Amino acid sequence: MAEKKHASDAMVKRGDLSKRVGIEQLRMRGVKVEELVEKLIDAAGAEFTTYYYYTILRMNLAGSEDYKEICEDARLEDRAHFELITPRIYELGGQLPADIRAFADRAGCPDAYLPGYSGVTKEGVDKVKGIQAAPKAAEILEVLLEAERCAIRTWSEVCDITFGKDPRTYDMASRILQEEIEHEAWFIELLSMERDGVARPSGHFRRGDPGDAPYSKNRGFYNP
């Protein structure tokens, strides 16, 4: 009987657990796997920290309940992005940093601080000197907008690296990117009217449930 074409190859011997065919196939197609893993860890760090910072920003939109609801959608969808891409990091032979502080430090986007926040002390203790008692909604919306723009640049780069070479990572990154583009449009619409009194519609409509994540929430696999 003739040997089946894809039954084996010279790179990964039968029973070898030290290599992955899924990774070696990427290398054959020109993917620099180690570099991709580092970019994905940085991107996952940004999604995780953004989820945290959006929690604070949402809390401080008190009194602007419509803005708060849309911020909640973006907040929960960023968590879904973290959950979606993290297993891929491990499939590619990488892993998240064991120390959450190291993870946050290498996030690929700036911290989305509450407007007026003055940083931390050398000892790492929160320092709120000079923080505004009630940041204006427009100031918070601007922070949200710039965080989404950084995410769009990040996931666009991952899509460029993986297009036509790594369909699994590309699919995940593309779905995340679509939601980040939506988020940017939402916050442009809200900030434009709140700050400038100019209508720039985004086509936004309420999600079925908060954080529904229509593109990235992988219900059947990772996110119950």
Q: What token pair was written down for 40?
A: 């994905």
Would residue 214 count as lying in a domain? no
* Lowest mean per-residue pLDDT among 2-6, 89-93, 98-102, 145-149: 2-6
Helix axes 137-162, 65-91, angle to 10 degrees: 30
Distances in Å between the Cα of 70 and the Cα atoms of 46, 95, 204 are 19, 32, 9
Tell me the per-residue pLDDT of 169-220, one tens digit each, with 9 for 90 and over: 999 999 999 999 999 999 999 999 999 999 999 877 667 777 778 888 755 4
Would residue 155 count as lying in a domain? yes
Would residue 85 count as lying in a domain? yes
Would residue 15 count as lying in a domain? no
Give residues with Cβ within 8 angstroms of 72, minimum separation 6: 58, 210, 211
Structure confidence at residue 144 (pLDDT): 97
Domain extent for 179: 28-114+126-196
Would residue 43 count as lying in a domain? yes
CATH assignment at residue 148: 1.20.1260.10
- Looking at the 3D structure of the chain, how many domains does it have? 1
pTM for this entry: 0.87
CA separation for the pair 34, 134 (Å, rounded):
44
Tell me the per-residue pLDDT of 7-53, one tens digit each, with 9 for 90 and over: 667 676 776 556 687 788 889 899 999 999 999 999 999 999 999 99
Query: In this structure, is the dihedral angle defined by the CA atoms of residues 160, 216, 39 and 107, taken in order, positive or negative?
Result: positive
Confidence bin at 223 (pLDDT 50/70/90): very low
Would residue 220 count as lying in a domain? no
